[in-house]
């Protein structure tokens, strides 16, 4: 389990990163939504969240979280669908929880290609 502790003047918040579906900008704050649907507001902006994630997650392995433009960071663990023409992606636990998030077409196109390249096996060339 990967957890991070946010300690502010008034509260201590322990976040289970493995269960976070996405972070979404909300002015100077960030809305954290778990895959279960439970949501809470963090008193830091999305850039602050991005710095925290970079500091606590291991380097050198594919990133668990990816920034999608100015207002969204998604947990790629839950990625189940990308629809470029309709401009959305779906995060799902494949059971009962899913989130359909709107993302600009240009970002989705680039992201879709990166995801496809990661999951596609390299082509073998036949021996002559």
pLDDT for residue 81 is more than 90: yes
The values of phi and psi at residue 34, to 5°, are -80, 160
Q: Average per-residue pLDDT in the chain?
A: 89
Query: How many CB atoms sit inside 10 A of residue 15's CB?
Result: 20
Contacts of 29 (CB under 8 A, 6+ apart): 41, 42, 43, 44, 45
- Residue 125 binned pLDDT confidence (cut-offs 50, 70, 90): low
- Residue 38 binned pLDDT confidence (cut-offs 50, 70, 90): very high
Q: How many helices (H) and strands (E) does the chain have?
A: 2, 10
Please state, in angstroms and rounded to a whole number, the distance separating the CA atoms of residues 49 and 117. Answer: 27
Closest CA to 62 of 72, 47, 77: 77
Q: What is the mean pLDDT of residues 51-59?
A: 85
- Residue 57 binned pLDDT confidence (cut-offs 50, 70, 90): confident
Q: Which helix (H) or strand (E) holds 50?
A: helix 46-56
Helix, coil or strand: residue 51 = helix
């Amino acid at each position: 389990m990967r957890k991070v502790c946010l300690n502010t003047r008034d509260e201590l918040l322990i976040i289970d990163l493995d269960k976070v579906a996405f972070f979404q900008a909300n002015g100077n704050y960030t809305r954290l939504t778990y895959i279960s649907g439970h949501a809470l507001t963090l008193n830091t902006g999305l850039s602050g969240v991005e710095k925290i994630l970079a500091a606590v997650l291991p380097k050198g392995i594919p990133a668990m979280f990816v920034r999608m433009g100015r207002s969204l960071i998604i947990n790629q663990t839950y990625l189940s669908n990308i629809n470029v023409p309709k401009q959305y992606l779906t995060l799902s636990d494949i059971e009962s929880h899913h989130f359909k998030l709107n993302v600009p077409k240009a970002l989705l196109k680039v992201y879709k290609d990166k995801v496809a390249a990661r999951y596609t096996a390299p082509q073998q060339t036949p021996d002559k």
